[in-house]
């Protein structure tokens, strides 16, 4: 039995390791995504909190910078590892639910091919790590329910704390967990000290960011309200329900998680895991009520992928003989087909501006177009800076309109000898406009009228382009580059108008 379990563990480990290597091998194409540039920029200025997110993702980006420098592939190693760990946890959940090796490997593979996991293994963004922490909480919850060992509340608490330090949507999963405990036999744990120790551990891990929020008047709540209102007005929450079918998990895995969810909610054989179903239902409803984005629920499906794989394994084993072989063949064939489609749509492969590129843009939207052109933008700004008289350069700054432009100039600016960059976007506003006050400003990412609002003199100096002629936000909107002088107000007053959320 011990040797069999050891073999199962090694099989899971090598499956996940293969997935991590696969991610890393494909992660060197194109360039950093707009959002990655923001995390990398904040990684150079570590803090216990930021306006737009908690501190863990910039911290991991900093680790990547220290180990790999500014390497595109290197900075994406940790997100790839995070997805590999999530695969292992999925396999272990299947084991705790009674699954043998085939169920464990299938569960890990269904996580690998989920669109969120495929893209999460590609970019250094918070949802890559948020995905892992949700799965970690689910794993320890499964362990708790399978073994009836209350000490696993410490693991649940650690996962919650890490999740809250990564993305605040963990709070919705916690709400689901609380309801699940209260309405199922899991309420027996209310009488054990381990539940409260787990809650204390979660609070302890989250405490540094909570203190930061108090010190900054809970600025993130204002930010989140603003961004949520924007997303709703843009219709980003309108596809919440259909996105559950193709974004949170691979569409070819839908029968697996649907069976798993049904089992956890209704099956007598899975009665001990009833709390998982309640966790999901409550979390799901809260996101609907609050008009959340479709991908927010993605990691919550992993526990049902595990449960579904266990059921399919048991069903096929009962069939026996030729039927079992055919059944496994069909099951794995569908998942492999799903993986190929997922990789085509969610990984940075294929030539830019090819027929394939255009096809994928039509299906996946702007995931990849926002990875193109950032060095070109920095180079254009550098050419403008070189044209400025030497006497003006000591008091010249670059004013960026959004965090992508700011992050690109912060990342590549030293190579081109650029002056300091300032922006009013999110946490960068707190860093101010510098000393001495700027006199000449290279303005990037502003419409002409907005630039004229702040400066009396603005000279048009170019239009943002990229060497691939890819259409994205930078080449389609606010494309003008300007050299502006003569601020209309003192910078201390003008800066108050330059705070914006993105």
pLDDT in tens, 158-185: 999 999 999 999 999 999 999 999 999 9
Which pLDDT score is estimated for 237? 86
Contact of 129 with 344, CB cutoff 8 Å: no
| Element housing 257 (H / E) | helix 254-266
Token pair for residue 66? 């220290």
Contact of 481 with 462, CB cutoff 8 Å: yes
| Element housing 463 (H / E) | strand 455-463
CA distances from 247 to 115, 198, 251, 264, 497 (A): 6, 32, 8, 22, 38
Question: 3-class DSSP state for residue 396?
Answer: strand
436 cis-preceded (ω within 30 degrees of 0):
yes
Which pLDDT score is estimated for 1? 60
Contact of 237 with 192, CB cutoff 8 Å: no
Contact of 444 with 419, CB cutoff 8 Å: no
Query: Who contacts 236 (Cβ-Cβ below 8 Å, separation ≥6)?
Result: 293
Closest CA to 179 of 257, 295, 277: 277
Q: How far apart are CA 194 and CA 216, in angstroms?
A: 33
Specify the DSSP class assigned to residue 421.
E
Closest CA to 113 of 418, 345, 271: 345
Which pLDDT score is estimated for 2? 64
Token pair for residue 1? 């039995």
Contact of 389 with 366, CB cutoff 8 Å: no
Contact of 475 with 373, CB cutoff 8 Å: yes
Residues in the chain: 502
Q: How far apart are CA 419 and CA 18, in angstroms?
A: 43
Specify the DSSP class assigned to residue 440.
E
Q: How far apart are CA 162 and CA 57, in angstroms?
A: 11
Closest CA to 78 of 96, 66, 89: 66
Q: Please state the domain extents for the chain.
A: 14-209+240-346, 372-497
Tokens 């890490």, located at residue: 162
| Element housing 484 (H / E) | strand 480-487
Q: What's the number of CA atoms in the CB half-sphere (13 Å) around residue 260?
A: 29
Q: How far apart are CA 101 and CA 8, in angstroms?
A: 6
Angle at 467 between CA 464 and CA 470, to 5 degrees: 75
Closest CA to 55 of 167, 154, 192: 167
In the chain, what is the greatest distance between 2 CA atoms, to the nearest angstrom?
85
Specify the DSSP class assigned to residue 500.
B
Contact of 131 with 299, CB cutoff 8 Å: yes
Other C-beta atoms lying within 10 Å of the C-beta of residue 184: 19
| pLDDT beneath 50, residues of the chain | none
Question: 3-class DSSP state for residue 264?
Answer: helix
Closest CA to 25 of 373, 349, 371: 349
Q: How far apart are CA 432 and CA 423, in angstroms?
A: 8
List the strands of the sheet with 440-444, edge to edge.
421-423, 396-400, 440-444, 480-487, 455-463
Q: How far apart are CA 280 and CA 276, in angstroms?
A: 6
Contact of 273 with 97, CB cutoff 8 Å: yes
Which pLDDT score is estimated for 458? 97
Q: How far apart are CA 219 and CA 210, in angstroms?
A: 11
Q: How far apart are CA 246 and CA 239, in angstroms?
A: 11
**pTM reported for the whole predicted model:** 0.96
């Amino acid at each position: 039995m011990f040797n069999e379990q050891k073999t199962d563990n090694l099989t899971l480990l090598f499956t996940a390791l293969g997935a991590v290597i696969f991610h890393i091998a494909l992660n060197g194409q194109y360039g950093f995504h707009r959002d990655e540039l923001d995390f990398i920029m904040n990684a150079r200025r570590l803090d216990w909190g930021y306006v737009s997110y908690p501190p863990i993702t910039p911290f991991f980006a900093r680790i990547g910078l220290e180990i790999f420098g500014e390497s595109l592939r290197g900075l994406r190693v940790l997100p790839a590892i995070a997805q590999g760990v999530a695969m292992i946890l999925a396999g272990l959940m299947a084991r705790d639910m009674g699954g043998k090796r085939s169920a464990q490997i299938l569960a890990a593979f269904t996580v690998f091919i989920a669109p969120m996991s495929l893209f999460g293994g590609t970019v250094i963004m918070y949802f890559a790590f948020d995905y892992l922490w949700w799965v970690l909480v689910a794993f320890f919850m499964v362990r708790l329910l399978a073994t009836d060992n209350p000490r696993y509340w410490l693991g649940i608490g650690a996962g919650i704390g890490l999740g809250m330090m990564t993305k605040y949507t963990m709070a919705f999963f916690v709400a689901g967990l609380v309801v699940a405990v209260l309405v199922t036999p899991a309420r027996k744990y209310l009488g054990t000290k381990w539940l409260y120790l787990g809650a204390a551990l979660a609070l302890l891990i989250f405490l540094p960011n909570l203190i930061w929020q108090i010190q900054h008047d809970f600025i993130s709540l204002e930010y989140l309200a603003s961004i949520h209102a924007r997303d709703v007005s843009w219709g980003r929450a309108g596809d919440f329900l259909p996105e559950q079918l193709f974004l949170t998990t691979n569409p070819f895995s839908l029968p697996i998680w649907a069976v798993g969810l049904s089992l956890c909610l209704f099956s007598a054989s899975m009665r001990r895991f009833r709390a998982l179903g309640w966790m999901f239902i409550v979390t799901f409803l809260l996101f609907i009520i609050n008009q959340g984005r479709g991908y927010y629920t993605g990691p919550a499906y992993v526990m049902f992928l595990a449960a579904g794989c266990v059921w399919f394994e048991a069903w096929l084993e009962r069939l026996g003989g030729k039927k079992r072989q055919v059944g496994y063949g069909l099951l794995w064939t569908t998942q492999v087909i799903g993986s190929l489609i997922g990789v085509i749509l969610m990984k940075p492969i294929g030539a830019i501006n090819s027929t394939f590129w255009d096809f994928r843009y039509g299906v996946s939207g702007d995931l990849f177009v926002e990875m193109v052109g950032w060095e070109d933008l920095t180079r254009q700004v550098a050419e403008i800076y070189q044209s400025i008289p030497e006497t003006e350069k000591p008091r010249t700054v670059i004013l960026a309109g959004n965090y992508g432009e700011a992050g690109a100039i912060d990342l590549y600016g030293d190579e081109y000898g650029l002056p300091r960059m300032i922006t009013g976007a999110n946490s960068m506003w707190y860093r101010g406009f510098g000393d001495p006050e700027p006199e000449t400003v290279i303005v990037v990412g502003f419409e002409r009228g907005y630039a004229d609002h702040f400066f009396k003199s603005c000279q048009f100096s170019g239009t943002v382009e990229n060497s691939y002629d890819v259409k994205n936000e930078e080449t389609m909107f606010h494309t003008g580059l300007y050299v502006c002088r003569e601020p209309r107000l003192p910078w201390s007053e003008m800066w108050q108008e330059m705070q914006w959320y993105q």
